[in-house]
Amino acid sequence: MNKKSDEKAKQFLDEERIFKLSETDRYEYYICKGASKKVYEIIEDKLFNRFSCNCKNIRLTDCSHIKAAKLLQGDMYENETANDHKGTMLGVAI
Ligand SMILES: [Zn+2]
């Protein structure tokens, strides 16, 4: 477990820098605005339950962007019942 990327992922979520772009039957697309204003694309292949990201992460562990996408999925799931989150996701300029 890489603790530093866990914290980064949480920060992406807190600062609403990770958001879901679109979804198909098989794939979910996420966008994450990184620290240096770079934008990363995270794709989940739901068929194989596998995430990929276009950052330079070549390790086998999840990068902070993938972790943020996973956190966001959990967050969205929670918000189906408790809707106290400031929903500015749609206000993000693409
Ligand atoms: Zn990444």
Q: Taking the model in full, what pTM does it have?
A: 0.75
Confidence at residue 84, expressed as pLDDT on a 0 to 100 scale: 46
68-89 pLDDT, tens digit each: 999 999 877 676 655 444 444 4
User: What separation in Å is there between the alpha carbon of 40 and the centre of ligand 1?
Assistant: 6
Quote the CA–CA distance of 46 and 82 in Å, as a whole number. 26
Burial 20-36 (b: 16+ CB within 10 A, else e): beeeeeeebebbbbeee
Q: How far is the CA of 77 from the centre of ligand 1 (A)?
A: 22
**Residue 38 CA, ligand 1 centroid: distance in Å:** 11
Ligand 1 center–CA 27 separation, angstroms: 17
pLDDT in tens, the chain (94 residues): 568 889 999 999 999 999 999 999 999 999 999 877 899 999 999 999 999 999 976 677 899 999 999 999 987 767 665 544 444 444 444 4
Q: Between the CA of residue 57 and those of 20, 84, 91, what are the distances in Å? A: 20, 34, 29
What was the pLDDT predicted at 8? 94
Rounded-to-integer distance, Cα 78 and Cα 63, Å? 23
Domain ranges of the chain: 3-79
SS3 10: helix
